[in-house]
Amino acid sequence: MAYRRPPTKAQLRRQRMEALVNYPLDWLEERSGLVGGVRYFLFRKVPGDVNWMQTLGSAALTAFIVQAVTGVILAMYYKPTPNEAYRSIQNITDHVTLGWLVRGMHRWGASVFIILMFLHMGRVFLFGAYKYPRELNWIVGVLILVLGMMEGFTGYLLPWDQTAYWATVVGINLNGTAPFLGPFIAQFLRAGQEIGADTLTRFYSLHMMLIPGGIIALIGLHLYLVVRLGVTSPPWSKEAAGMALADEEPQPLRPGLTRPVPRGIAAARPEAGGSK
């Protein structure tokens, strides 16, 4: 071992400071491994050519978080009974400090969330990012979209104004026209044969707990699959990761990009590259 100059006082102080800062992180890492997990999530490699369109998924997640936060706060003031609901919405909108802002964010955040999910889905379609091995993640994504629409439907009733009430009447009766099971689904949603107090609390519970719980779980699964399977390159990118363009490009850019013979099946790299 080479001779090392003893550390200066400043260096020692710096080391001690670092140790102090790192101590809680090390403590957490030793007991949970969470720090390593976050580190893996943050520093995992993504293709070098990812572009702005690929931010739509995280943007949708942001919109969902806005919905969750504002929703919890609205629940502090909202009263889910037919006699109180409308007045509590008036109260939130007109009297509670910044109530208009929180309710407005929740109402418009819902639209933004839905739009972003559709845009994100369009991006995935455009990139062909639902193909092997990401089929399952597409299905999970569609499930999140469906649950998001259900959130929109159940939340729409809660202000208990004319628009809300009649949109819900039609929505429930839509389900009622499904062959065979429809009338039962409608009566289940309505909590009886007519819309009443139980309908409102039922929608409130679905909107607040069951559906958001499902969405959160599915977002977790969605993200896990994204991390596990990686992010796709734009298909038009010249250096798209994993592209095999043998038939299209006579001049190979580099052996790895244009090899016609897939790696796992054919002989090892150099030989295969030479003999087409």
Partner 1 sequence: MAAAPQRHAGVKPSRLEEARAQFARYKEDVKERGKPFYPYAMFHDTVMSLVVVSVIVGLAAIWKWTSYGPHHDGTHQGLLGPEYTAPADPGTTSFVPRPDWYFYFLFYLLRIFKWPESVFLGTVGVPTICLILLFALPFIDVRRERRLLHRPVAVVAAALTILSMAVLTWKGATAKEALASEVIADVPNWVKAEKLPQNAVPGARLFATAGCTACHTYLGTGSSNLGAPDLTQIGTRNLGIDFQIRHLKCPSCVVPGSPMPKFESLGEERLRQLAIFLEASKGKQ
Partner 2 sequence: MEPAGPGQHESPPEPSHDEPHLPAPTLWPLGFAIGIVVVLVGLVVNPEIVSPIGGAIAIVFGFLWARAATAELRGHAVVVEPERRELRETEAGEVGAALGEEAGAPPARGERFPRSRFLEGATLGLGGLIGGIVTLPVAGFAVLPPFLGQRRHEVDLGPISDFPEGSWFIATFLTDPAEGEVSRRTAFVRNNGVFNNQPSFTIISNRCAHLGCPVQANGPTGAILGKKTITEHTKNGVVKLEPVVPAGFGCPCHGGQYDTEGNRTAGPPVRALDRYAFEIRNGRLILLGTYSVSHVDGTGAQARIHKYKLAGPGEHVDGPEQWLYPLNPPHQ
Name the residue nearer to partner 2 (CB basis): 184 or 236: 184
Distance CA 3, CA 36 (A): 33
Query: 82 — phi, psi (to 5°)?
Result: -55, -35
Which 167-186 residues touch partner 1, going by CB under 8 A? 167, 169-171, 174-175, 177-179, 182
Stretch that binds partner 1, among 5-13, 24-32, 217-225, 227-235 (CB under 8 A): 227-235
Distance CA 151, CA 140 (A): 16
DSSP designation for 54: G
Q: Which does 184 bind (CB under 5 to 8 A by kind): partner 2, partner 1, none?
A: partner 2
Give the shortest CB-262-to-partner 1 separation in angstroms: 3
Q: Which does 58 bind (CB under 5 to 8 A by kind): partner 2, partner 1, none?
A: partner 1
Residue among 183, 214, 252, 256 that touches partner 1 (CB under 8 A): 256
Sign for the CA dihedral angle at 123, 126, 130, 133 comes to: negative
Distance CA 42, CA 45 (A): 9
Name the residue nearer to partner 2 (CB basis): 17 or 174: 174
Distance CA 210, CA 61 (A): 18
Give the shortest CB-23-to-partner 2 separation in angstroms: 23
For residue 184, how far is the Cα from the chain centroid? 32
DSSP designation for 241: T
Q: Which does 158 bind (CB under 5 to 8 A by kind): partner 1, partner 2, none?
A: none
Name the residue nearer to partner 1 (CB basis): 9 or 88: 88
- Binding residues (CB under 8 A) for partner 2: these are 1, 82-83, 166, 169-170, 172-174, 176-177, 179-180, 182-184, 186-188, 190-198
Q: How many residues bind partner 1 (CB under 8 A)?
A: 94
Q: Quick one: which H or E segment has residue 108? A: helix 99-127
Q: Classify 83 as helix, strand or coil.
A: coil
Which of 273, 245, 267, 247 minimizes the C-alpha distance to 257? 245
Which token pair is 155? Answer: 């939340």
Binding mask 143-172 for partner 1 (x = CB under 8 A): ---x--x--xx--x--xxxxxxxxx-xxx-
Name the residue nearer to partner 2 (CB basis): 73 or 191: 191
